[in-house]
Amino acid sequence: MKLRRAIALLIGFAVTQAHAITVVDDSGASVTLAKPAERVVSLAPHVTELLFAAGGGARVVGAVTYSDYPKEAQAIARVGDNKALDLERIVALHPDLIVVWRHGNAARQTDRLQALGVPIYFSEPKHLDDIAASIGKLGALLGTQNEARAASDAFTREIARLRARYAERPRVSVFYQVWDDPLMTLNRDNVFDEVIGLCGGANVFAAEKPRVPTISTEAVLAANPEAIVTATPGATKPDRPLPALERWRRWTSMTAVARGNLFGIDGDLINRPTPRLALGADELCRDLEIARERRTK
């Protein structure tokens, strides 16, 4: 009887192992679940979007502040923000998967999350291909592969369309202003630099260190970009005044100012590595096409 029970347990273990789900997250670590996740806590706004895109929105039981897209995400219980997490609230939600922003969530609290023994997936897509891959991996962990594949393929097709149309267009030098005081930008180690490239642009501070370098006004003037782009709270037409870019209007000899190439794009579309980045890329590509047209005026 004991032998028969032992054999049954071994068979059950083998079946469980055969159906285990394993993916590699953005930190390079393997994440394994015995079955698809049913209660997921998202610790970054972009993660919430990716989970919904992967078909798992109904399984997200906790999310951080600014997890506002899609609309359904606004009703999810809040468990803190990228600076401070409500660990007690997270535990009370009984998650079977926690998805963390690797460099956005505080390292100390992330360590405490790991001590809970709940599987953790670290998310930080750095390239356009990583966004599509992330949707697929999350879909695998959720057991929603079909929905995830459809979303991933749609994003990939749209990026391919933009690349085919714009990547070989005449280069436009671009300064992307992340913040105006202190003045900050991005180097090449991020997904938006890749977006600039697929639109036929060139990031004038691509070689800077660190990833989000603080720069001087003199450095921007020396680079003399043909276009200056910044994130705005909402979609902003290129010819509207942009408070964050007003500082440049006095430098009338700079090409971007002389030609009126000061552009604003909805920050949610260009700062979050999600499928909506394709919409932000489309806006940027059209802005840079405007900059090309203004060369002849």
| pLDDT of 165 higher than 50 | yes
Give dist(CA 36, CA 149) in Å, integer: 16
Q: What is the pLDDT of residues 88-100, one digit of tens each?
A: 999 999 999 999 9
Residue 26 tokens read as: 């953005």
pLDDT at 83: 78
- pLDDT cut 90: percent of the chain above it: 80
Q: How many residues does the chain have?
A: 297
Separation between Cα atoms, residue 274 and residue 128, nearest integer Å: 9
- Any idea which architecture 18-155 has in CATH? 3-Layer(aba) Sandwich (3.40)
Q: How far is CA 266 from CA 156, 271, 282, in A?
A: 21, 9, 12
Number of other CB atoms surrounding residue 86 within 10 Å:
17
Residue ranges of the chain assigned to CATH 3.40.50.1980? 18-155, 167-296
Q: Which residue has the higher pLDDT, 110 or 77?
A: 77
Lowest average pLDDT, out of 177-181, 182-186, 241-245, goes to 241-245
Judged against a pLDDT cut of 50, whether residue 237 lies above it is answered with no
* pLDDT of 81 higher than 90: no
C-beta neighbour count of 74 within 10 angstroms = 12
From residue 285, how far is each of 130, 201, 227, 257 by CA, in Å? 20, 8, 12, 19
Q: Is the pLDDT of residue 82 over 80?
A: no
Number of Cβ within 10 Å of residue 90's Cβ equals 23
Q: What integer pLDDT is reported at residue 234 of this predicted model?
A: 54
Amino acid 188: pLDDT: 95
pLDDT above 70 as % of the chain: 89
Q: What is the reported pLDDT for 35?
A: 97
Residue 19: band (very low, low, confident or very high) from pLDDT cuts 50, 70, 90: confident
Reported as a pLDDT band with limits 50, 70 and 90, residue 67 is very high
Degrees (nearest 5) of the Cα angle 97, 152, 233?
80
Average pLDDT for 43-57: 97
Closest CA to 69 of 83, 90, 51: 51
Predicted local confidence at residue 106, as pLDDT: 65
Residue 270 corresponds to which tokens in the numbers above? Answer: 């260009």
Beta strands in 161-255 (DSSP E): 172-177, 179-180, 183-184, 201-203, 227-232
pLDDT tens-digit series, residues 188-209: 999 999 999 999 999 999 999 9
In words, the CATH class of domain 167-296 is alpha beta
Six-digit token string for 96: 């079977």
Inform me whether the pLDDT recorded for 250 exceeds 80. Answer: yes
Most distant CA atoms of the chain, gap in Å: 90
pLDDT at 147 over 70: yes
Round to whole Å and give the CA distance between 100 and 110: 8
